[in-house]
Amino acid sequence: MKPWIVSICIGLLIASVSNAQDRMTLVDGSETDCQVLFEHPNAPLLIVRSTAGGTLQSVPTAMVQKATTGGKEKKYSATRKLTADEKKALEADGLWGDAVGEGQIGAYANQKWQAAPVIVWAKPGESADGLKADSWLDETGKPLAAAPFEALPPNKRKSAQNDEAAFDGDVLVPRADKPYEVLQAGNRDHLGMVRVRHLTVERNASYQIRYNVSGNLWLKDGGDLGRNTQTGCFGARENNWHTVVRICGDRWPRGKAAAKNGESEGVDLSHWLYFDSGDKGSVEFVGISRGSGDRLTVERGTLIVSEDSYVGNGERASFFSKPGTTVILLDGARIGSQSLINADSRATIGIGGHLSIGTPQRPIEKDFVFLGSVVNFDKIQPDITPNQRTAGASFVIGSTGSMAVHTADPAKARLILRPFPEGTPYSQYALRKGDTLPTGIGAVFMGKTDFNGVVFDGFYKNGIIVSDAARKKWKNVTFGDKNQGQPEELFRNP
């Protein structure tokens, strides 16, 4: 058995127990325990669920040597080496979406999942209405008897944005050789929201139903989520579960996609994005996506952005966390708009809760470069209140918020606050006619700040608003060579 399979299986054993005792063997001899649900009747795919019950997927039968279900073995394909494309897909997606990898906190691995119904797209490669029964199969591979989202209100101009239909189960939109769409007809601004537990979207599939994923999301490389979606939501709300949002493949916004004002094809998960895991739950974000085309809000609970992952928002908004929430950024993580300048001097972050760079158990072990969008100096004011469109400073920690840096070595693993480099793309809407590009960044620290090992660089003179009392508690503070004043000239009291 290959080492990466061993590590995955160990992670699954830790995660939970299951009634399933099935096993799948790939053509190269790699094995994994799972629950085999059925062979897809309309595509050469084996539908399987993880032993932890935290995700499901399709596996091409051409990749499966054999599967053992209920003690009975069935053979599919001859033993062989994996092809280059198969290896690439496994490297991008992993074997299971609910398995913990390096650089993650992994609280979701300890979440226990009850048995739940499953629906699987009936005809991979063919687009259809996702709200109709004949578009889906049940967990046995039979056509769905009734529409899964019957409670969904009609698409009306004045329909409430929080109208919900619920499917208390898991959804799989399988891989296909050609692109296809799971559709929800109507104007995106007025569609009802559909709540599901786990959602897996695979290569060439586009899930376009306005979603609330209360469990785990596994967006595989080549899968698409959020097109025609005004609002998406991740998190278990009152269930207070610990879940994961896993984004696979290279989805870093570049060029026009990085600067586009609004949705960017292939990089956004919705136009607006919310994280709500309840007061005691958490969502761990693994992978890279701009997140939202516009607003991103952490409503409740804890959002963890794992190592070298990124979840951001559009440049008409700021990354916003409400009071009582926690956002944890591990080594190399990024949040917020990645634009040189945001519209109307919007902040890169507006924090009303707690922002933690590293944790006491997982301190940062290398320099953490936190880039901020440039802003107009005259808008940097102490009364800035974090909200979905926080404006006036690059980094805003509100009076209800706080920020801490947990470092393994304050001399070598520092928080570095600096502007995006010159030449970083930005939207044509970020500057009004006749405006000039701002030259510096600013910060407003009205809440508690626990800084040990911080570098300030690229700030305006008088561009950092913080009390003298707060500054006296900081340790190992240094300054870069791009600031527009001497160290003491950068600060002013509220």
Instruction: Give residue limits of the domains in the chain.
Output: 3-108, 315-494
Distance CA 344, CA 317 (A): 9
Cα(331)–Cα(369) distance, integer angstroms: 9
pLDDT 10s digits, 125-174: 999 999 999 999 999 999 998 888 765 655 554 444 465 788 989 999 99
| CA atoms of 289 and 269, how far apart (whole Å) | 7
> What percentage of the chain has pLDDT greater than the value 90?
78
Confidence of residue 19 (pLDDT cuts 50, 70, 90): very low
Least confidently predicted of 26-40, 42-56, 148-162, 428-442: 148-162
Question: Which DSSP string do the residues of 404-421 spell out, in sequence order?
Answer: EE-BS-TTTS-EEEEEPP
Query: In 3D, which of 155, 203, 143, 149 has the Cα closest to residue 176?
Result: 203
Question: Which of these ranges, 25-39, 124-138, 206-220, 246-260, has the smallest mean pLDDT?
Answer: 246-260
**Whole-number pLDDT of residue 2:** 31
Q: Please say if the pLDDT value at position 333 is more than 80.
A: yes
Nearest partner of 4 among 91, 77, 78, judged by Cα: 91
pLDDT of residue 156: 52
Query: Quick one: pLDDT band at residue 6, thresholds 50, 70, 90?
Result: very low
Res 162: pLDDT: 60
More confident residue, 344 or 63: 63
Using DSSP's 3-state secondary structure scheme, residue 19 falls into coil
String of DSSP letters for 80-130: -PPPHHHHHHHHHH-S-TTS--TT---GGGG-------EEEESSTT--EET
Mean per-residue pLDDT, 305-317: 94
Beta strands 282-286; 242-247: pairing state: parallel
Determine the pLDDT at residue 35. Answer: 97
Task: Report pLDDT digits (tens) over 437-446.
Answer: 999 999 999 9
Among residues 332, 329, 284, 335, the alpha carbon closest in space to that of 311 is found at: 335
The DSSP letter of residue 8 is: H
| Residue pLDDT, tens place only, 179-201 | 999 999 888 887 888 999 999 99
The pLDDT assigned to 152 comes to 60
Tell me the C-alpha distance between 332 and 364, whole Å. 9
pTM (2 d.p.): 0.92
Residue 393, token pair as written in the block: 């400073």
CA distance 212 to 235: 8
Contacts of 29 (CB under 8 A, 6+ apart): 1, 65, 79
What 186-192 contacts at long range (C-beta under 8 Å, 24+ apart), as own/partner pairs, is 186/155, 187/155, 188/228, 188/229, 188/230, 188/271, 189/230, 190/155, 190/156, 190/157, 190/158, 190/159, 190/161, 191/155, 191/159, 191/229, 191/230, 192/152, 192/153, 192/155, 192/159, 192/163, 192/164, 192/165
- Which CA distances in Å does 263 have to 305, 314, 425? 22, 8, 16
In DSSP terms, 165 is beta-bridged to 194
**42 in Cβ contact with 177 (< 8 Å):** no
- Span 101-121, average pLDDT: 96
Burial of residue 102, with CB atoms counted within 10 A of its CB: 0-12 exposed, 13-18 middle, 19 or more buried: exposed
Q: Which of the pair, 309 or 165, is modelled with greater confidence? A: 309
Q: Write down the pLDDT at residue 11.
A: 36
pLDDT score at 271: 92
Residue 428: Cβ-neighbour burial (10 angstroms; 0-12, 13-18, 19+): exposed
Rounded to whole angstroms, the Cα distance separating 191 from 53 reads: 30
**Alpha carbon distance 449, 321 (integer Å):** 16
- pLDDT average, residue stretch 111-117: 95
- Average pLDDT over the chain reads 90
Sign of CA dihedral 274, 269, 222, 46: positive
Q: In which element (H, E) is residue 471 found?
A: helix 468-471
- pLDDT tops 80 at residue 254: no
**Cα separation, 411 vs 453, whole angstroms:** 6
Mean pLDDT of 222-244: 94
DSSP 67: E
Quick one: pLDDT band at residue 257, thresholds 50, 70, 90? very low
409-420 per-position pLDDT tens digit: 999 999 999 999
Structure tokens at 392: 């006036």
Query: pLDDT-derived band of residue 297, with 50, 70 and 90 as boundaries?
Result: very high
Q: Report the pLDDT value the prediction gives residue 429, as an integer from 0 to 100.
A: 76
